[in-house]
A and B are shown apart, each in its own frame.
Chain A
Amino acid sequence: MSFDYDKYLRPGKLPHIWCPGCGHGIVMKGLIRAMDTLKLKKEETAIVSGIGCASRLPGYIDCCTLHTAHGRAAAFATGVKMARPEMNVILCGGDGDGTAIGGNHFIHACRRNIDMTYIIMNNYIYGMTGGQFSPCTPTGHKASTTPYGNPDPNFDIAKLAIGAGATFVARGTAFHANQIDKLIVEAIQHKGFSVVEILDDCPTTYGRRNKYKSVIEMMNRLKDVAVPVKAAEKMTAEQLQGKVLTGVLYKEDKPEYIAEYAKVIERAKAAK
């Protein structure tokens, strides 16, 4: 029997705003399957996003959903989770939202290690505003504001998250749709701040400008560049040139913030 997505979707909210061929919907389906695997209760789950095409995702899911301001999802989510630690808090948004305007909140959320999961849909571009370059647009590529090729170096989101202290970091792609829910399940089960980067596609504003003839071509690229971490262990540096590692890239057991804050409360009460 095919999977019933409707049980987590809000009735009457489709069709979604995404363009045909946009990868964000694939990520949403992965998230829904993950929620189902974990049997997350809708009223006990908050999904928090910023602004952008990717950040429209929460509106379609039948939970407590919070579509905040551009870049601020992590900071709003911190408030929700700290006020109601018993809730499952999932963040989502685009590469621009999370690493440009929201970059500061992102690294500090990684550092604090609050038990939340952040899904970043990296389509290498500011999709919603028409394709300006983001901190994740590869150097040399074209965007509406880099007509001569992007002079900026780009972020590696997963490395950024690991460097900032996230205790679970994974990467998947919109092509490897069946892997997305598995990565999200593992991320949610992890105690601490988990980051799942999904390499995604924006045919409308990025593909077009960078000579991709079709969505299929963009998807094929994701297929070609992705190398599972296990497979990479057996590959030479030369073979790994231009490839991107996928799967669980980093995992660490570290004190989780809410548990640590509970100790602060205990100490304060004892000192009273």
Chain B
Amino acid sequence: MSKKVAFLQGNEAAAHGALYAGCNFFAGYPITPSTEVSEVLSIELPKIGGKFLQMEDEIAAMAAILGASLAGAKVLTSTSGPGLSLKQELVGYGCIAEIPCVVYNVMRGGPSTGMPTGPSQSDVMCAKWGTHGDHPAICLTPASVQETYEEIIRAFNLSEKYRTPVMVMPDEIVAHMRERIVFPEPGEVEVTPRKSPTVPPEQYKPYDTSFGDVPPLAAFGSGYKFHVTGLNKASDGFPTTKANLVQAEEERQVRKVDANIDDIVQFEEYLLDDAEVAVVAYGSTSRSARYAVNVAREQGIKAGLFRIKTFWPFPDKQIKALAGRVKGIVIPEMNLGMCSLELERCAQGKVPVLGIFRVDGEPINPDQILDKIKEVK
């Protein structure tokens, strides 16, 4: 049997990917350029008995998905820049209370209202540093419509597996372009279920580390009673200010992601084996980068592409190895230098990191990247 094929926009693919992953609850607030996710899910979720809510603002949407997730639902919200800023306090709530959820954020020009319909990649730092306090961060940056579909599913899986919010951040180009997409069959792509408690309700503690760094999460209304708070908490879920407990809990929350980087981080290497110049790129910019690398190769320049799929945690190990092999790194991005800071950190001064930074609402074209590749001596 041939697979189902469609011609979809990135945002539409995100909505369908969420449904494949078992999303049954969505709350959002309209904002360009992400609104199509809401529109598709407002049609599709009720058909499967799921819930679609348009809330009074992005804060409410974030709160609603966290509440629904605690009640056992698989949840998604979608937004863009200004909305992401509003959600941030509660993203932190999701991190400290360890509530699985997926936040889909389409990157448009910013700060503030910026360029609502212009592409950008300037929210990537916000994905990690947007909410206050130490916390884990997982952020995926898809580069095509197909990949947006697949990465949304992976985001749901990671959020359930690690009991933490996960962000998916396409830039506006990926979110709004239309491409052919091939849908996987039901059951073809793994969908990770939530780790539920195995102990009887009287023994249940929501942060019981005897089950590992990711303790099982019961659902409200499933027979388990427990307390959830945004205060620093002990394993029983109740607030604590005991120094040793707070330190241990904070460290565990970050460690549960950091100790599993190899499981989380995905990337693509293209023509890097013998490369002297590595272009590092993500999202739609990586498509121009691939083209530029191909042209460079035709001209006899040994260029290759390292495409970041998982922006956070950052692929430190791979970039450090790369920096030891090439003569220079080129980073095109639609911001004034964000990924480049991470690359410089990983390169540790061993090789130059040359940036191409555009914030004018125009995509970075292959010629610009090719010119930069040629600057590496």
- SS class of chain A's interface: helix, strand, loop or mixed? helix
Q: Is B49's CB under 8 angstroms from A78's CB?
A: no
Contact of A79 among B27, B201, B226 (CB under 8 A): B27
Docked complex Cα distance between A65 and B225 (Å): 8
The residues of B that contact A78 with a CB separation of less than 8 Å are 53, 55, 60, 63-64, 67
Q: Does A252 contact B (CB under 8 A)?
A: no
The residues of A that contact B46 with a CB separation of less than 8 Å are 261, 264-265, 267-269
Smallest CB separation, A116 vs chain B (Å): 11
Q: Does A75 contact B (CB under 8 A)?
A: yes
Q: Is A69's CB under 8 angstroms from B90's CB?
A: yes
The residues of B that contact A59 with a CB separation of less than 8 Å are 227, 229, 238-239
Q: Is B71's CB under 8 angstroms from A87's CB?
A: yes
Q: Is A64's CB under 8 angstroms from B225's CB?
A: yes
The residues of A that contact B220 with a CB separation of less than 8 Å are 46, 64, 66, 80, 84, 87
Contact of A76 among B49, B64, B227, B239 (CB under 8 A): B64
Q: Does A237 contact B (CB under 8 A)?
A: no
Q: Does A221 contact B (CB under 8 A)?
A: no
Give the residues from 189 to 210 in chain B that come closer than 8 angstroms, CB to CB, to chain A.
201
Interface residue tally for chain A (C-beta within 8 Å): 42
Q: Is B72's CB under 8 angstroms from A84's CB?
A: yes
Q: Is B47's CB under 8 angstroms from A272's CB?
A: yes
Give the residues from 25 to 53 in chain B that come closer than 8 angstroms, CB to CB, to chain A.
25, 27, 43, 46-47, 49, 51, 53
Q: Mark B75-100, 1 if CB is under 8 A from A, else 0.
A: 10000000000000110010000000
Q: Mark A111-134, 1 if CB is under 8 A from B, else 0.
A: 000000000000000000000000
12 residue pairs from A and B, CB less than 8 Å apart: A13-B238, A46-B221, A65-B228, A66-B67, A67-B228, A67-B229, A68-B66, A69-B93, A75-B61, A76-B63, A78-B67, A81-B67
Q: Which 6 A-B pairs have the closest CB atoms?
A: A79-B67, A75-B63, A268-B46, A79-B64, A79-B68, A83-B71
Chain B: residues with CB nearer than 8 A to chain A? 25, 27, 43, 46-47, 49, 51, 53, 55-57, 59-73, 75, 89-90, 93, 201, 219-221, 223-231, 238-239
Inter-chain pairs besides A59-B239, A69-B230, A82-B51, 7 sampled, C-beta below 8 Å = A65-B227, A68-B63, A72-B90, A79-B65, A82-B53, A87-B71, A268-B43
